[in-house]
A and B are shown apart, each in its own frame.
Chain A
């Protein structure tokens, strides 16, 4: 007997529902690492997943769900809710800036994102910054900052060059960045990045920009990812050797998403981790799943596509201990879909963040 989810949509902010334990039962639970558990119970307590199993839990309220459960998507670049707060216009280099201050949990823009299944977002600096600061991992669903100073963002594409501010050339940019790294005091973000303790996210778009970024990373022993790189398939060997991952932007410009599809397939074959982003592309929050669907149509398997939005994204951001998969001890960021999450015909039924129901689609009518 199906008990449909009749709980009224809880407010997105400051959920006041009690931290009681409950379990969701669904026909498919996508763990996020490729594994799918059938006819499973996901037990949630104190905002954290307590267990995933086929055994019915005792003493816990069970919510029967008509659909698939998957981890909330992690978008490694989303500036929609930040306005222009992530780009410091007067200086190109502000490596110690804490970008969590750019997060406005009350922004209405987050609703659309959450309703498409994105529960965690990396808030990076703008592309016009060379060393724009440290990105924060935030949960727009829960309205809180999950991790400050999570990733050092570096802008190494043409957008970071000034037209009437220094530097205007790539040589100037790398000279400047080299000085910053050399002069970085112990414990500062750049020093931590050099020591490999904090991951970097380097934005580079054309093949030569990516190539330069990889050489720079190798010279300073940086770990993390390159964001952009739509023609990554041309540089697979170099990427594999660098140990860096690739994050694809969902904005169509400058290269078409056809290139991204080719690149995703090539990276998947070479076992180089990659992730997709939402980043307010022309398709809005749906952009992430559209990108995944395009790759799947070209041959990427569903498991790899889902990983690129969940487990691998979490690992790139350095939060895989707490996010990205449905497993014991991880945060209860769960999305209930009407079908497989990578299937474009599937719709979001409800979204849980940290165990609280933060979104329910039934209020808008179950059939759309």
Chain B
């Protein structure tokens, strides 16, 4: 292993890093934050065939190397919301566990390029949160192949949905005869919660569960994660209590992740006792988010202080590096902020075998910064996704 490191460093030092297929590079950084806690000084990273081959600390830059002040792993937006809007969610039913997010993405949309250029190399995409249970989410690289299959990073399966006001918004009772399938329940928050419980109960009690119910059963058993949007405290409580109730009924132990948990800071105890992870939404401009949830920059710190696993998200519109900076402003360290946008979301989404840190063998998803990451005075000046340059630092 050591010899191969020396050999590759020598090969790199001979200046043979001109990329043939555009996925082989040598990168020199004054500092490499690996996201695992290790920091390399004056390191040379060799990228080949879209993978990180070697990292050698304590060497000088080679002539052809891309140079950066700091290199980190590419950021993973745990709730990127870059889907085709209403065409991504099958609203003819409120509970559609089998619908996959893969049909609801437009890889030709310019939004992907924008995400990639700001350093987001992987994004978790779900159907639009108009259903109670909208379908299966997936992790996609933000650049590269033109097909969904080519961009998918296989991870832990997750069913996605929402608890709160959003799923009931379009529904109404019928005036006279129903005129569309939106004349249905749920029309309120309690109806939304009822749909969730009903689906789980029916799945658990079905003699011959159909395909949808099989997925729900896997969710109950914890084999499929449950990714629930819940902005306000009352909705987070509903989600957590639902998990506890299912466990009490003997249906199994769900793996719960709260998406857009803006008010998760209010009652951390229930999240701790149920081992629930939280994805934080972008910090709002003036204190309140959707569903009137109150959130400040200090939310990340409160979650950290309570030992709750959390990741940050940009919702497609906000820069993730800014969110990381704001979380630092709220009291977490730079290293913790880095984990919250790299290794932690990778672990929560089950893709940490391929992405989430700068280690040999992982995908070459890297950000080259012009200074310490997440400062307002610095920005990504180079981005690689799978070894391809999405933002050219030269």
Given known pairs A158-B87, A172-B99, the reply for A211 and B146 (CB within 8 Å) is yes
Q: Looking at the complex, which one of A167, A173, A208, A234 makes contact with B106 (CB distance below 8 Å)?
A: A208
- Let me know if B92 and A170 touch, CB within 8 A: no
Confirm or deny: B100 has a beta carbon within 8 angstroms of a beta carbon on chain A.
Answer: yes
Q: Is the interface of B mostly helix, strand, loop or mixed?
A: loop
Choice from B103, B147, B180, B181 contacting A169 with Cβ under 8 Å: B103
Residues of chain A within 8 A (CB-CB) of B179 are 164
Task: Tell me the dominant secondary structure on chain A's binding face.
Answer: helix
* Chain A residues, Cβ within 8 Å of B107: 208, 211
The residues in A between 211 and 225 inclusive whose CB is less than 8 angstroms from any CB of B are: 211-212, 215
What's the least CB distance linking A158 to chain B, in Å? 6
Whose C-beta in chain B lies nearest to the C-beta of A170? B103
CB-nearest residue of chain A to B106: A208
B 78-120 binary contact with A (CB < 8 Å = 1; else 0): 0000001011111111001011111111111100000000000
Q: Is residue A181 contacting chain B, with contact meaning CB distance below 8 A?
A: no
Per the 8 Å Cβ criterion, residues 178-211 of A in contact with B are 206-208, 211
A166-B99 CB under 8 A given contacts A206-B106, A211-B146, A211-B147: no
B325 to chain A, nearest CB (A): 33
How far is it, in angstroms, between the C-alpha of A124 and the C-alpha of B310 when the chains are bound? Answer: 53
Task: Judge whether B127 is part of the interface by a CB distance below 8 angstroms.
Answer: yes
CB distance from B86 to the nearest CB of A (A): 6
Asked whether A165 and B92 contact (CB < 8 A) given A171-B100, A175-B99, the answer is yes
Q: How far is the CB of B117 from chain A (nearest CB, A)?
A: 20
Q: Which of A162, A166, A207 contacts B108 (CB 8 A)?
A: A207
User: With A175-B99, A211-B147 as given contacts, are A169 and B108 in contact (CB-CB < 8 Å)?
Assistant: no
Nearest A residue to B136 via CB reads A171
List 8 tightest A-B contacts by C-beta distance, closest first: A166-B92, A164-B180, A171-B103, A172-B90, A170-B103, A207-B108, A208-B106, A169-B90
Could you list 5 examples of A-B contacts with CB < 8 Å?
Answer: A164-B182, A165-B92, A170-B103, A208-B108, A211-B146
Instruction: Assess whether B356 is interfacial by the CB under 8 Å rule.
Output: no
In the bound complex, how far is the Cα of B147 from the Cα of A172, in angstroms?
Answer: 19
A275 at the interface (CB under 8 A from B): no
- Interface flag for A107 (CB, 8 Å): no
B90 engages A206 (CB within 8 Å): no
Q: Which residues of A lie under 8 Å from residue B100 when comparing CB positions? A: 171
Q: Smallest distance from the beta carbon of B168 to chain A beta carbons, Å?
A: 16
**A169 close to B182 (CB less than 8 A):** no
B135 within 8 A of partner (CB): yes
Measured between beta carbons, the chain A residues less than 8 angstroms from B127 are 169, 171
Asked if residues B87 and A170 are in contact (CB atoms below 8 Å), the reply is yes
- B84, B93, B147, B181: the one contacting A165 at CB < 8 Å is B181
- State whether the Cβ of A168 lies closer than 8 Å to any Cβ in chain B: yes
In the assembly, what is the distance between CA of A161 and CA of B100, in Å? 16
B146 proximity list for chain A (CB < 8 A)? 211, 238
A237 to B234 Cα, complex, angstroms? 52
Query: Is the pair A171, B182 in contact by a Cβ cutoff of 8 Å?
Result: no
CB distance from A88 to the nearest CB of B (A): 18
A234 to B146: give the CA distance in the assembly, Å.
Answer: 11
Given pairs A166-B92, A172-B92, A207-B106, 19 additional interface contacts (CB within 8 A): A158-B87, A165-B181, A166-B93, A168-B89, A168-B91, A169-B90, A169-B91, A169-B103, A170-B87, A170-B103, A171-B88, A171-B100, A171-B102, A171-B135, A172-B90, A175-B99, A211-B107, A211-B147, A215-B147
Chain A residue numbers with a CB within 8 Å of B90 are: 166-169, 171-172
Contact, CB under 8 Å: B181 / A164: yes
| Contacts A164-B181, A211-B147 given; does A170 touch B108 at CB 8 Å | no
- The CA of A174 and the CA of B103, in the complex, are separated in Å by 8
**Chain A, residue nearest B128 (CB):** A169
**B52–chain A nearest beta-carbon distance, Å:** 29
Which residues of A from 138 to 170 have beta carbons under 8 Å from B? Answer: 158, 161-170
Q: Are B108 and A212 in contact (CB under 8 A)?
A: no
Bound-state CA distance A164–B86 (Å) is 11
Q: Which residues of A contact B102 (CB under 8 A)?
A: 171
What residue of chain A has the Cβ atom nearest to residue B107's Cβ?
A208
Q: Report the Cα distance A207→B91, complex, angstroms.
A: 24
Kindly state the separation between the CA atoms of A173 and B182 in the bound complex, as whole angstroms: 18
Closest chain A residue to B92, Cβ basis: A166
Q: How far is the CB of A299 from chain B (nearest CB, A)?
A: 25
Shortest A164–chain B CB gap in Å is 3
Report Cα–Cα, A217/B106, bound state, in Å: 18
**A164 and chain B: residue at smallest CB distance:** B180
Chain A residues, CB < 8 A from B92: 162, 165-168, 172
Q: List the A side residues contacting B106 at CB < 8 Å.
A: 206-208
Among A250-269, those with CB < 8 Å from B are: none
Chain A contacts for B88, CB-based, 8 A: 169-171
Q: How far is the CA of A167 from the CA of B87 in the complex (A)?
A: 9
Residues on A with C-beta less than 8 A from B105 are 208
Q: State how many angstroms separate the Cβ of A361 from the closest Cβ of chain B.
A: 45
The distance in angstroms between the C-alpha atoms of A164 and B91, with both chains bound, is: 8
Closest to A210 in B: B108
- Taken together as a complex, chains A and B put the C-alpha atoms of A163 and B96 apart, in Å, by 17
The CA of A287 and the CA of B335, in the complex, are separated in Å by: 62
Q: With A164-B180, A206-B108, A212-B103 in contact, is A169–B98 under 8 Å at CB?
A: no
Chain B nearest CB, measured from A41 CB (Å): 52
User: Closest residue of chain B to A215, judged by CB?
Assistant: B147
Q: Is the CB of A171 within 8 A of B104?
A: yes
On whether the beta carbons of B180 and A165 are closer than 8 Å, the reply is yes
Residue of A nearest to B84 (CB): A170
Q: Mark B296-321, 1 if CB is under 8 A from A, else 0.
A: 00000000000000000000000000
CB-CB under 8 A from A212, the residues of chain B are 103
